[in-house]
Amino acid sequence: MKFISIIIGSKSDYEVMKSCAETFEAFGVSYELIISSAHRSPERTKDYVLSAEKKGAQVFIAAAGMAAHLAGVLASKTVKPIIGVPMSASALSGIDALLSTVQMPAGMPVATVAIGKAGAINSAYLAMQILALDNTELAIKLREDRIAKAKKVEMDSLEIETILKDN
């Protein structure tokens, strides 16, 4: 069974990353979500990546704050795509995590999305786009979602335009 693996560095990351899981649920995409730390549970992290690959994980999403080494550790353990979600967990509001996640050495790529909730949601969309490369049904759902989002912008604009005309 193909699925997406979401690994969060600590329980405190769940409130943001549940948006990622909810996005997968809305599209009917299978996922797993676990807590594992690059620093506090490195063996668990390594063992999970290897077992998840064997079970069918196609993409790994790593959410971590501060030093944010989780995505880089995952990249060192698999050749599957890694998407890093920097979390705002320090006095630097996630800038430290962003820089740590995005600054990977050549040959160890981590696709990095925005800090926080927007990143959590975009990590789900990016993972689904990767899966949609050979899943026509998912590709159609993603196209329909884009159309719906475009129509919402038009409806919102029409609403504002009408209000302004009436004033």
Of the chain, the percentage scoring pLDDT greater than 90 comes to: 92
pLDDT of residue 25: 98
Q: What is the pLDDT of residues 75-114, one digit of tens each?
A: 999 999 999 999 998 888 899 999 999 999 999 999 999 9
Q: HSE, CB side, 13 Å, CA atoms: give it for residue 91.
A: 0
- Is the pLDDT confidence value at 12 over 90? yes
**Domain residue ranges of the chain, discontinuous segments joined by +:** 3-134, 135-167
pLDDT of residue 90: 83
Q: How confident is the model at residue 1 (pLDDT cuts 50, 70, 90)?
A: confident
- Tell me if 77 sits within 8 A of 49, measured CB to CB: yes
- Tell me if 95 sits within 8 A of 67, measured CB to CB: no
pTM score of the predicted model: 0.94
- Is the pLDDT confidence value at 72 over 80? yes
Q: What element of type H or E holds 112?
A: strand 111-112
Measured between alpha carbons, how far is 20 from 28 in angstroms, rounded to an integer?
Answer: 12
Measured between alpha carbons, how far is 87 from 102 in angstroms, rounded to an integer?
Answer: 13
Identity (one letter) of the amino acid at 162?
A: T
pLDDT of residue 167: 77
Class of domain 3-134: alpha beta
Measured between alpha carbons, how far is 99 from 86 in angstroms, rounded to an integer?
Answer: 9
